[in-house]
Amino acid sequence: MIAKLGRLIILILLALILTDHLAKPFIGHHDWNGVFYSQIARNYLRFGLLETKLGQLTGPDSFYTHYPPLFPLTLAAAFKVFGISDLVSRLVPVGLTIAGLLVLYRISSSWVVIAVALTPMLRYFGQMPSQEPLIIFLTLLSFYFFRKKNRAGFYLTVILNGLSGWAGYFFYPLLFFLNRRWALKACLLLVMTFSLHLLHVYILTGSFSGGGIFDALLLRLGFFPMLGKTEPELAGQFTWLAYLIKEARMLTVYYTFTLLSLAALGLLLCRDKITLIFLAWGLSYPLIFSNVVFVHEYFNVFFWPFLALSLVNLINRIRLKPILVLIIFLGIFLERNKFYQALVKTKAFEPGYQLGLEINRLIPFGQTYTVVNSREFIESQNLFIDYYSDRQIEYIKINEP
């Protein structure tokens, strides 16, 4: 009875930690993900799955093809049940993040894994509607089935992961170190899901490369300069030295020096294969898609299962008393709490949000509204104007002196 009460208290605290800015509209850091995928999910409900052909409709006859559609379809299902709102949009990744933590608890048999929920990475990006929480949840769930030798559960979650995004594809080859046959079958299933996605792209666009899917891949791999293509503006000039310095800084501020140090110590003291596999998975995305991680630091989110497992290994190895574990938790929470609070207060996209609401209030549905403003304003705010206005918008960029 006491143990069940303790688990319930932990779940309540976990939910409170991960939902403290749940009602905030999408106006802050990286919140373009929220309006982008919410718009796609809303279009699924408005036009129907048959008319959209399950494609991620972003405009008239325009489809987003850079990722498979499982996440926005999941978001659309939540909208169908609970209604369309920013709150529901944020609840979906929060639910997936909590589910992922619970699966990792079952894998590790330790509630210490929830320490990662105290970091800015999960407290902020755990509420971001995007593929990452779904991919991490399905990866952990498939590994849980793998450990339990549940073939049906394992292969089903591999397929679903393949229909969610690309980071999951980097995990299953690592299982060759544990079970070659299951890993090989998982990789074959991923070849099938990727082929299915390309077929879907062809049906939607008339081309296997429609929607710029391979251009996006080449950009992420850093091949644009080699192919004579112009790269979009990056967060500074990309060099491996600049990238590594930035990665060290981003990992420290988002995961805290406390957690990184303890996880590193845990890795030194207990280098079991499972922890090393999750470390390799966390490293895979930043190494393979270095360009995109250089710009979008939230792709470092795939490190958190490794950090949680390594911390569990350390605490189990040195047998820390519960009071010392609580002190560690408190240290992780407080170290970058001011940084997290600053993230929550960001509102760079509030002008687009406010203008979108005003257009929605004044302009009847079905009518087109023209926004005339500077190139900088339109290019930074148009996604937010489109989503919150829920109207057809025509943009005119004025010449600037």
Q: How many CA atoms lie within 13 A of 226 on its CB side?
A: 7
238, pLDDT greater than 80: no
123 phi and psi, to 5 degrees?
-65, -35
- Using DSSP bridges, classify how beta strands 56-59 and 368-374 pair: parallel, antiparallel or unpaired: unpaired
Q: Indicate the helix (H) or strand (E) that contains 291.
A: helix 290-295
Count the Cβ atoms, other than its own, within 10 Å of residue 307. Answer: 28
234, pLDDT greater than 80: no
Cα gap 302→273, rounded to integer Å: 17
Pick the closest to residue 160 from 236, 70, 225, 221 (CA basis). Answer: 70
Task: Give me 244's structure tokens.
Answer: 């590594």
Average pLDDT over residues 350-368: 95
Q: Tell me, what's the pLDDT at 314?
A: 95
Q: Indicate the helix (H) or strand (E) that contains 335.
A: helix 322-335
Q: In a 10 Å sphere around its CB, with 0-12 CB exposed, 13-18 middle and 19+ buried, how is residue 352 labelled? A: buried
Q: How many CA atoms lie within 13 A of 227 on its CB side?
A: 12
Q: Tell me, what's the pLDDT at 216?
A: 81
Task: Give me 197's structure tokens.
Answer: 């996605």
What band does 222 get if pLDDT is binned at 50, 70 and 90? Answer: confident
Cα gap 168→164, rounded to integer Å: 8
Average pLDDT over residues 127-136: 97
Please list the helix, strand and coil fractions of the chain in percent, rounded to the nearest 5, in that order. 75, 5, 20
- Greatest alpha-carbon pair distance for the chain in Å reads 71
Length in residues, the chain:
401
Average pLDDT over residues 140-145: 98
187, pLDDT greater than 80: yes
289-346 pLDDT, tens digit per residue, is 988 898 899 999 999 999 999 999 999 999 888 899 999 999 999 999 999 999 999 9
Q: Tell me, what's the pLDDT at 129?
A: 97
Task: Give me 353's structure tokens.
Answer: 């949000």
Average pLDDT over residues 124-132: 97
Q: Tell me, what's the pLDDT at 304?
A: 98
Average pLDDT over residues 131-137: 98
Does the predicted model carry a pTM greater than 0.85? yes
What band does 227 get if pLDDT is binned at 50, 70 and 90? Answer: low
Task: Give me 340's structure tokens.
Answer: 């997290």
| Percent of residues, the chain, with pLDDT higher than 90 | 81
72-120 pLDDT, tens digit per residue, is 999 999 999 999 999 999 999 999 999 999 999 999 999 999 999 999 9
8, pLDDT greater than 70: yes
385: left (phi over 0), alpha (psi -120 to 50) or beta: alpha
Q: Indicate the helix (H) or strand (E) that contains 374.
A: strand 368-374
Pick the closest to residue 103 from 157, 151, 152, 67 (CA basis). Answer: 157
Cα gap 146→375, rounded to integer Å: 51
37-80 pLDDT, tens digit per residue, is 999 999 999 999 999 999 999 988 899 999 999 999 999 999 99
Average pLDDT over residues 383-401: 89
What is the rounded average pLDDT for all residues in the chain?
92
CB 100 within 8 A of CB 137: yes
Cα gap 354→260, rounded to integer Å: 39
240, pLDDT greater than 70: yes
Query: Residues 51, 56, 59, CA angle at the centre, nearest 5°?
Result: 80
Q: Indicate the helix (H) or strand (E) that contains 277.
A: helix 273-288
Q: Tell me, what's the pLDDT at 232?
A: 52
Task: Give me 153's structure tokens.
Answer: 């559960």
229, pLDDT greater than 60: no
225, pLDDT greater than 80: no
Cα gap 132→167, rounded to integer Å: 8
Q: Tell me, what's the pLDDT at 126?
A: 96
Q: Tell me, what's the pLDDT at 1?
A: 62
Collect all residues with Cβ–Cβ distance below 8 Å to 94 and sequence separation of at least 6: 15, 18, 19, 22, 126, 127
Cα gap 189→124, rounded to integer Å: 33
Cα gap 54→22, rounded to integer Å: 28
Q: Tell me, what's the pLDDT at 226?
A: 58
